[in-house]
């Protein structure tokens, strides 16, 4: 495995972190086994000035973690059925988070297939809810330190600018045109 990302990596501006997470590996070590993959799609969510961000109303009970320690996991539950995995960014006290939208599965494929109850590898981790289910990420990991512990992100490969596409975020009505989504061009595991 590669080197775990340090706190200083996450202590940068949200959109820089969102772009630089592409090519890193998100890995979760659980009693059922280690599972993970290469991050191929992310979205940045800024602080109070971003109307699509949970931090838009300040440090509310839900969004307080976004104002906290960079490199913490921010996991929340939506639609009464799905978990979303985010990484807290920016210096402490400044809100920001990156939603990890898709992985190219690399480790523990058999474990992920059991968790997802499917063997279609194209659909294992393509989408934020799918990757959380495949990696057994839920609210128990909310606040976890990604710089140490069983859930973390490791440096692996870097992509040149011409290999990265920037688009508006998916499903966002507020500030819909902002180019805050980053993806690896042509990667078959990017969410649809």
pLDDT over threshold 90, residue 93: no
pLDDT digits (tens, 9 = 90+) for 102-138: 999 999 999 999 999 998 999 999 999 999 999 999 9
pLDDT digits (tens, 9 = 90+) for 33-53: 999 999 999 999 998 889 899
**Reduced to 3 states, what is the DSSP secondary structure of residue 98?**
strand
Question: What is the rounded average pLDDT of the residues 137-159?
Answer: 97
Residue 140's pLDDT band, with cuts at 50, 70 and 90, is very high
Q: What is the pLDDT of residue 2?
A: 62
CATH number (3.10.300.10, 3.50.50.60, 3.90.660.20, 3.40.50.1980) of 7-184 reads 3.10.300.10
Question: pTM of the predicted model, to two decimals?
Answer: 0.95
Check if the beta carbon of residue 83 is closer than 8 Å to that of residue 11: no
In this prediction, what percent of the chain has a pLDDT beyond 90? 82
CA–CA separation, 88 vs 11, rounded Å? Answer: 9
In this prediction, what percent of the chain has a pLDDT beyond 70? 99
What is the residue extent of each domain of the chain? 7-184
Burial call 167-182: b when 16+ CB within 10 Å, e when fewer:
eebeebeebeebebbb
């Amino acid at each position: 495995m590669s080197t775990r990302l340090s706190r200083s990596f996450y202590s940068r501006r949200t959109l820089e972190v969102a772009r630089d997470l592409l090519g890193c590996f998100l890995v979760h070590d659980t009693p059922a086994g280690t599972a993970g993959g290469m991050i191929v799609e992310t979205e940045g969510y800024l602080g109070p000035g971003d109307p699509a961000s949970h931090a838009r109303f300040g440090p509310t009970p839900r969004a307080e973690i976004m104002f906290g320690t960079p490199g913490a996991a921010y996991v929340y539950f939506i639609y009464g059925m799905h978990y979303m995995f985010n990484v807290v960014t920016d210096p402490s006290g400044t809100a920001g988070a990156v939603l990890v939208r898709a992985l190219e599965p690399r480790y523990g494929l058999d474990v992920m297939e059991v968790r997802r109850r499917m063997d279609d590898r194209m659909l294992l981790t393509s989408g934020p809810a799918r990757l959380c289910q495949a990696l057994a990420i839920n609210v128990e990991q909310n606040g976890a330190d990604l710089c140490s512990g069983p859930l973390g992100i490791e440096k692996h490969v870097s992509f040149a600018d011409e290999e990265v596409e920037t688009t508006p975020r998916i499903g966002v009505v507020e500030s819909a045109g902002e180019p805050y989504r980053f993806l690896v061009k042509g990667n078959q595991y990017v969410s649809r």
